[in-house]
Structure 1
Amino acid sequence: MTDQHYLDENYDMNDSGNPEFFELLNKQMNRRDLIKKTAGGAVAMTLAASLTGCGSDDNDNNNSAPPATETPNPDVDLTTRPSSLSFTPVEKHTRSEFTVPDGYDFKILHAVGDPLNSRLPVWDENRIPSGISYDRRVGDNHDGMTFFGMNPSTLKYDANESNQGLLVMNHEYIQRSDLHPRGSSFSDSSITEDEVFREVNAHGVSIVAINKNPVTQAISVDLDSEYSSFNRRITAATVIDFAGPVRGTDLVKTAFSPDGTSTRGTINNCGNGYTPWGTYLTTEENFNQYIARQGDVRDAETEYAIGTRYRMGSNASGYNWQSITDPQLTEDKTLFSRWNSIVSGTSATRDFRNTVNTFGWIVEIDPFDNRQRPVKRTALGRFAHEDCRVSRAIPGQPLAFYMGDDSTGEYIYKFVSDAVWDPKDVNGGYAAGDKYMNSGKFYVAKFDFNEATGEATGEWLELSMSNPSITAYERYKFKDQADILVHARIAADAAGATKMDRPEWVAVNPENGEVYVTLTNNSSRGSSYPTDAANPRRYADDDDASGRLRGNINGHIIRFREPDADVTATTFTWDIYLFGAESDSIEDVNLSGLTDANDFSSPDGMWFDPRGVLWIQTDDGAYTDTTNCMMLASLPGAVGDGSVQNAKSGDGTQKTPTGAILDDSKLRRFLVGPKGCEITGVTMTPDYKAIFVNVQHPGGTWPANQPGHLISTGRGSRPRSATVVITRKDGGVIAGETLEPSKA
């Protein structure tokens, strides 16, 4: 979730009164070992996913030496988590450079506009490609991302394969002045049809075939081999099916799909997830920003739902895509008119009044199947989805999908499948998705804390018509489960969930099943939203001359554990794993004891690799006077390993349960991005020898100003969002130095 200005209060819309599955690795492995070694997020060792170098903007980074010509083969157990981190912590900086630790190298793999087919011309800023061609080019503002290994014989998902695979990534939104030929003179009031096509196609998801050299670890985009046939785009114009309880209901019927079984497009794709059976989950976040609804006033209940809780008022103008009323490049006028969500016909099947209800879902994509349509999984609820992570895949047990709603004062959710996991469903595609994601129970989280005993507990509140708090809610009268899912925020209000400081990415610890959630920040915490133990800090930034930085400025990461790691449990215990802070903050702000080697602000992207290393990324506007956004590596303990502390809460304090203090052997900075960017999206190859991250909305002329690191073919001065791949110069395991005998 991009946060260039610390907080956008437009995301504050809650006015309620509520306070992997690997092939068993070893057939002799016992159940306890299986649970421990099953990968966080769902696929045990299956999906790997999911610089101190100096110089000016015009100079190459000093980490640009070519990879080793021979790969050492140290005796490293890839299933073992490092006991400590020993790479050199990357220093904070505000340069227009991407920097990684000594001994590591990076390459810019591809950037916005790069072709996914060798027959297309390369991106050229002096001859920007046509808008229509962007449905075969890499999209803009790269975000969540997962690597899927591909078996070279079957061309199917292979959890063990690191040398060829599909890199699947989101494109959250667009940098309009950098995307179009007219650049900074662009105005949406005069947007052209070609520009609309470019913007629509630059959203969505890219599927990119890549190869890794097993000797040098060098990564390349595959544009010509048999694997390149998998390269494709899912955009804001792609036809997508509905599945689950909302499919076919009146709430999603439109002129495009009068029977409510399909829709067109996915937008504002931020965080991501992946399934044990080998499919990708993309999330639809701030969809309300795209849709026009000018002068359209409906009944009070509908206005509360659409305007207040889903933030699309009667004067919404969207991106003005609906202004193309006489298209010349297509005969399908609904490509544009569908973005106008007003009542204009005699029924919902004759207009697009329900367009707003067709976005805000989890979308399943099978990267290995380009014949069937992607699917919007409605049983998982509709809100500003930031991320979706699956519990550990344990045979005979249900799967849980954990999700955050990235808006101020919104909630943390989970969906628990009725079906129990069967490893035979690997490569089951959308049929497996139907099995595990269409039927189950939907919950929202409530956090409690007993100050007298220091006990931190929580409850999962079911969102269904069997919950009397929902059926008796006065502000909105729910008709059925489909209504609850479409208006999940209102159902969570009714149930009494805890308002959180912008829940963003979720991660599942592969060692113990504990769930981590980033809470990025909230300038209104302590004012519009009183502090509580789960959101305890209100403070000011003494370095901020404008005085605008108040509330929960730097964010935190909360985590919880369900009893016996049972995902069907309706209770949990919790603490706050880390508090973002500047290293020189006062003690009751810097509760995690961060130092110059690991201080950070506004945690956003987050992912456990299958070993149990937690990668934390930032999207910050509060600490950027000192450092650009970054990614850190950490080695967590467990819920309850710390103590109760007093957090600064305005003029007083708030007691809160905190995790153990981590020194820089357990938490340290792995990279810093170029000025102006967000670091987001993280995934690895299963051999842990290549790690991928995304650089979103960089400033200056990056990545062109680091030419020695470019694989991407386009050149020019415009800043471009891009995917970066990082390897060790000696060909070793990422963050695995302490596991190697010669370096232990």
Structure 2
Amino acid sequence: MSSPTDRGRRLLPLLPTNHPLGRQAVTCEFRCGNACAHDAPNTSRNAYFGDVVKEVVSRRGMLKAGAVVAAAGAGALAFSGSAAAAPAHADAEALGRGGHGKDGLNFEPVAPNTLDQISVPKGFRQDVVIRWGDAVLPDAPKFDFDNQTPEAQAKQFGFNNDFCGLVPVPGAWDSWLMVSNHEYTSETFMFKDWAPDKITEKHAKIAWAAHGMSVVMVDRDHRTGKLVVCKDDMKKYNRRITLTTPFEMRGPAAGSKYLKTSVDPTGRKVLGTQNNCAGGVTPWGTILSGEENFNQYFANGGQVADPDTKAKLARYGISGGASTRQWERFDKRFDLAQEPNEANRFGWIVEIDPLDPKSTPVKHTALGRFKHEGANVIVAEDGRVVAYMGDDERFDYMYKFVTDERYMKGNSKRAREHNKQLLDKGTLYVAKFTGDSPAAEIDGTGKLPADGEFDGSGEWIALAHNDRSFVPGFTAEEVYIFTRLAADKVGATKMDRPEDVEPSTHNRRIYAALTNNTDRGKVGKEGPTEVNPRNGNKHGHVLEIEERRSDNTALTFSWKLLLVCGDPKDPGTYFGGYDKSQVSPISCPDNVAFDTHGNLWISTDGNALGSNDGLFAVPVSGRRRGQVKQFLTVPKGAETCGPVITEDFVLVSVQHPGEVDGASANNPLSHWPDGGTSQPRPSVAVVWREDRRKICD
């Protein structure tokens, strides 16, 4: 963080800036505390990837033969297609003509645009399921933009919804509990009277209530095809979780001295969750949610007296004076000069049980603390559960966690209670990647190496197992609470903002969205590596991992880049070897999901190609592997989040619509979703086929 003076200067007035990516300056300020305007907090001297490769090249024949540990027994990932030339990409109509087959992606791609609407393919319809301020609890008042209260917001749908997940309602057909994260608040779009010198306690308390999560029961209307909120059943399951909801700290670091505060001397009880980004639905019907850019909410990190504490805060991007929202004026827990441990109580994976609205949400210390984009799990063949996670920061790392206990099948109370304890015990790992090409062939432009693809091997390095640390100089509780520093110590591979990391149940491979990193290759920063092959990487890429023998508990893996994103006309892009004249341009991949055919769906955040963000689909196998097709775009200023892909409909979270530099509640430049002169409102939207056929037919 910068000084209060610097932050105020950036915040007011919020004028257009030459931001290095497609995201607006106002979004950067409220969402992540302007992270990319500051040096990346990873200052570790991990070996540069190119230096590692020099050592490996002499053994390249062994690598190709499978003698390197990650390739032994696993075999290379065999994919169809080869590197293609880069003709001008085709228009949407041409893409549509080439898009018919049996892989479930039979739609005409949407063309890039900057419209203030959700644009969907021909033959599809869309509608809003729920908006910011709509009722979640039955006694919620009608939303009144000009007369908001903390009490009302605590019963209404929160702001800036990101992750969306569905849990089937027992005994109900086509009914689900829809769980949404409310990542952050954009106060200048929420209040007409908000400014850094006019922030009130009421502003703060409304924002506390607008953070967190919402649980809302929804039904499919079989007359229209829409997904609608079940108003008659609100009392049974619906729930709001906010920044004042009690959480339980669980796992090996619970009760640590680093988690204790004056309000909670036990180190086991935390109020609230914040900056919840992506997440996942577990096989036992709970929701995992990741606390991401929590650092921006805490003030006065620079005033912490203890130098060791100050250094640990800095590794998480916490320094400086006042925060943008100035919550420290109204609750001392946001003032690190008074409560230096409070920041350690955020940055976790949280788990909630939407089927039990009276249950206490949990923060899982065993999964480590960093800027969690989310966590997604798969049941390994031996029954253990494996969770994959990314730390959304420039030059930070990818992780996985393997449980000690095995998943218990069935929906009995005994099985659910057993499974809800699984993430308390296990082993936490961090990823290290190696490329199989000479360092000289990775020149930072995105040009493919001589073997025609970016690929290699890797290993999962153990950090801790329950009360045992594998990191020299770190206790187990220090590994879990200061995970970034522990991963630095073991030499993990620095990545280009690893966001959503998700395993496919179709092929058991893992797909990771690496959103961007414009700092790569700058003076004093790590240069290109085969797994992060472009300097000034503003468009990002998508990584595919296959673990040894397709065993998700394995410690070694092989990997490939599925996509090197950007304009297909750019020779520094790659689309799985597919003909680039037949793909949609894509920039800044963020969240991923899968359909019933196993196709990968990708939502974007911060499109650096000048178009609105969108949702894209791409086959990961067969002759059309790599053919990216754009399914929808969201309104101007918005980010595409979620997504949820079912046979009958697609859900997307439309986050921060109208969040454009120069706009505000007093000068709205978007009127989605209600049109006219209305204020823009973050919402969940549903898309379905007009003919009511399956989405993936």
> TM exceeds 0.5?
yes
Q: Distance in 2 between matches of 1:573 and 1:168?
A: 34
Tell me: CA distance 1:703–1:228, structure 2 relative to 1, closer, same or farther (3 Å). farther
Cα deviation for residue 406 of structure 1 reads 0.2
Matching of residues 475-486 of structure 1 within 5 Å: 477-478=473-474, 480-486=475-481
In the alignment, what sits opposite 1:575?
Answer: 560
Q: Deviations over 1:400-444 (max 9, x none)?
A: 100000000000000000112221366668733553101101000
Tell me: CA distance 1:254–1:4, structure 2 relative to 1, closer, same or farther (3 Å). same
Q: Distance in 1 between matches of 2:534 and 2:528?
A: 6
Cα deviation for residue 317 of structure 1 reads 2.8
Q: Deviations over 1:592-622 (max 9, x none)?
A: 6544751110000111234412110111242
Moved more, 496-505 or 190-199: 190-199
Q: Distance in 1 between matches of 2:181 and 2:687?
A: 19
In the alignment, what sits opposite 1:146?
Answer: 165
In the alignment, what sits opposite 2:629?
Answer: 668
Structure 1 counterpart of 2:457, one-letter code: T
Is residue 533 of structure 1 aligned with residue 505 of structure 2? no
Q: Deviations over 1:625-670 (max 9, x none)?
A: xx110101111129xxxxxxxxxxxxxxxxxxxxx87464xx3110
Query: Helix, strand or coil for the counterpart of 2:290?
Result: strand
Tell me: CA distance 1:429–1:253, structure 2 relative to 1, closer, same or farther (3 Å). farther
TM-score, length-normalised on structure 1?
0.75
Cα deviation for residue 322 of structure 1 reads 2.1
Tell me: CA distance 1:577–1:168, structure 2 relative to 1, closer, same or farther (3 Å). same
Cα deviation for residue 256 of structure 1 reads 2.3
Determine which of 617, 640, 655 is the counterpart of 1:633.
Answer: 617
Q: Distance in 2 between matches of 1:438 and 1:186?
A: 42
- Is the 8 Å Cα contact of residues 277 and 425 (structure 1) preserved in structure 2? yes
Cα deviation for residue 717 of structure 1 reads 1.9
Q: Deviations over 1:706-740 (max 9, x none)?
A: 65xx9xxxx8521111110111111111132xxxx
Unaligned runs of 5+ in 2: 1-20, 29-34, 49-90, 93-100, 439-449
In the alignment, what sits opposite 1:207?
Answer: 215
Tell me: CA distance 1:313–1:138, structure 2 relative to 1, closer, same or farther (3 Å). same
Is residue 339 of structure 1 aligned with residue 326 of structure 2? no
Structure 2 counterpart of 1:379, one-letter code: A
Is residue 364 of structure 1 aligned with residue 359 of structure 2? no
Matching of residues 317-466 of structure 1 within 5 Å: 317=323, 319-324=325-330, 336-343=331-338, 352-392=339-379, 394=381, 396-424=382-410, 431-451=417-437, 456-464=456-464
Tell me: CA distance 1:247–1:433, structure 2 relative to 1, closer, same or farther (3 Å). farther
Q: Distance in 1 between matches of 2:679 and 2:303?
A: 39
Determine which of 511, 516, 524 is the counterpart of 1:516.
Answer: 511
Query: Helix, strand or coil for the counterpart of 2:421?
Result: helix
Q: Distance in 2 between matches of 1:468 and 1:121?
A: 51
Moved more, 88-97 or 309-318: 309-318
Determine which of 90, 108, 112 is the counterpart of 2:128.
Answer: 108
In the alignment, what sits opposite 1:77?
Answer: none
Tell me: CA distance 1:295–1:457, structure 2 relative to 1, closer, same or farther (3 Å). closer
Cα deviation for residue 149 of structure 1 reads 1.1
Tell me: CA distance 1:89–1:296, structure 2 relative to 1, closer, same or farther (3 Å). same
Matching of residues 28-177 of structure 1 within 5 Å: 82-83=102-103, 85-125=105-145, 127-152=146-171, 161=173, 163-177=174-188
Is residue 724 of structure 1 aligned with residue 668 of structure 2? no
Is residue 556 of structure 1 aligned with residue 536 of structure 2? no
Structure 2 counterpart of 1:725, one-letter code: V
- Is the 8 Å Cα contact of residues 505 and 606 (structure 1) preserved in structure 2? yes
Is residue 697 of structure 1 aligned with residue 656 of structure 2? yes
Is residue 499 of structure 1 aligned with residue 460 of structure 2? no
Q: Distance in 2 between matches of 1:318 and 1:487?
A: 25
- Is the 8 Å Cα contact of residues 397 and 492 (structure 2) preserved in structure 1? yes
Tell me: CA distance 1:706–1:111, structure 2 relative to 1, closer, same or farther (3 Å). closer
Tell me: CA distance 1:356–1:535, structure 2 relative to 1, closer, same or farther (3 Å). same
Cα deviation for residue 471 of structure 1 reads 4.4
In the alignment, what sits opposite 1:237?
Answer: 244
Cα deviation for residue 704 of structure 1 reads 4.5
Identical aligned residues as a percent? 33
- Is the 8 Å Cα contact of residues 383 and 489 (structure 1) preserved in structure 2? yes
Structure 1 counterpart of 2:277, one-letter code: C
Q: Deviations over 1:336-395 (max 9, x none)?
A: 22211224xxxxxxxx2210100000000000112121000110000000021102464x
- Is the 8 Å Cα contact of residues 407 and 419 (structure 2) preserved in structure 1? no
Structure 1 counterpart of 2:363, one-letter code: K
- Is the 8 Å Cα contact of residues 132 and 194 (structure 1) preserved in structure 2? no
- Is the 8 Å Cα contact of residues 291 and 371 (structure 2) preserved in structure 1? yes
Q: Deviations over 1:291-323 (max 9, x none)?
A: 11255233332222112x111115353521121
Query: Helix, strand or coil for the counterpart of 2:590?
Result: strand
In the alignment, what sits opposite 2:13?
Answer: none
In the alignment, what sits opposite 2:263?
Answer: 256
In the alignment, what sits opposite 1:287?
Answer: 294
Unaligned runs of 5+ in 1: 20-51, 54-80, 154-160, 325-335, 344-351, 539-550, 639-659, 737-744
Structure 2 counterpart of 1:672, one-letter code: T
Structure 2 counterpart of 1:150, one-letter code: V
Q: Distance in 2 between matches of 1:233 and 1:257?
A: 23
Q: Deviations over 1:195-238 (max 9, x none)?
A: 11110011110111111123432221122x23543111111111
Matching of residues 706-717 of structure 1 within 5 Å: 707=674, 717=678
Q: Distance in 2 between matches of 1:577 and 1:588?
A: 11
Tell me: CA distance 1:439–1:461, structure 2 relative to 1, closer, same or farther (3 Å). same
Structure 2 counterpart of 1:463, one-letter code: L
- Is the 8 Å Cα contact of residues 593 and 645 (structure 2) preserved in structure 1? no
Tell me: CA distance 1:429–1:99, structure 2 relative to 1, closer, same or farther (3 Å). farther
Cα deviation for residue 120 of structure 1 reads 2.9
Tell me: CA distance 1:101–1:407, structure 2 relative to 1, closer, same or farther (3 Å). same
Q: Distance in 1 between matches of 2:673 and 2:357?
A: 35
Cα deviation for residue 398 of structure 1 reads 1.0
Query: Helix, strand or coil for the counterpart of 2:480?
Result: helix
In the alignment, what sits opposite 2:55?
Answer: none
TM-score, length-normalised on structure 2?
0.80
Q: CA RMSD in A?
A: 2.8
Tell me: CA distance 1:317–1:429, structure 2 relative to 1, closer, same or farther (3 Å). farther
- Is the 8 Å Cα contact of residues 470 and 491 (structure 1) preserved in structure 2? no
In the alignment, what sits opposite 1:645?
Answer: none
Tell me: CA distance 1:203–1:683, structure 2 relative to 1, closer, same or farther (3 Å). same
Determine which of 485, 490, 498 is the counterpart of 2:485.
Answer: 490
Q: Distance in 1 between matches of 2:533 and 2:236?
A: 51
Q: Distance in 2 between matches of 1:482 and 1:468?
A: 9
Q: Distance in 1 between matches of 2:412 and 2:652?
A: 26
Tell me: CA distance 1:429–1:166, structure 2 relative to 1, closer, same or farther (3 Å). farther
Structure 2 counterpart of 1:337, one-letter code: K
- Is the 8 Å Cα contact of residues 692 and 725 (structure 1) preserved in structure 2? yes
Structure 2 counterpart of 1:138, one-letter code: F
In the alignment, what sits opposite 2:321?
Answer: 315
Q: Distance in 2 between matches of 1:148 and 1:221?
A: 14
Tell me: CA distance 1:267–1:2, structure 2 relative to 1, closer, same or farther (3 Å). farther
- Is the 8 Å Cα contact of residues 427 and 466 (structure 2) preserved in structure 1? no
Determine which of 275, 279, 282 is the counterpart of 1:268.
Answer: 275
Cα deviation for residue 558 of structure 1 reads 0.7
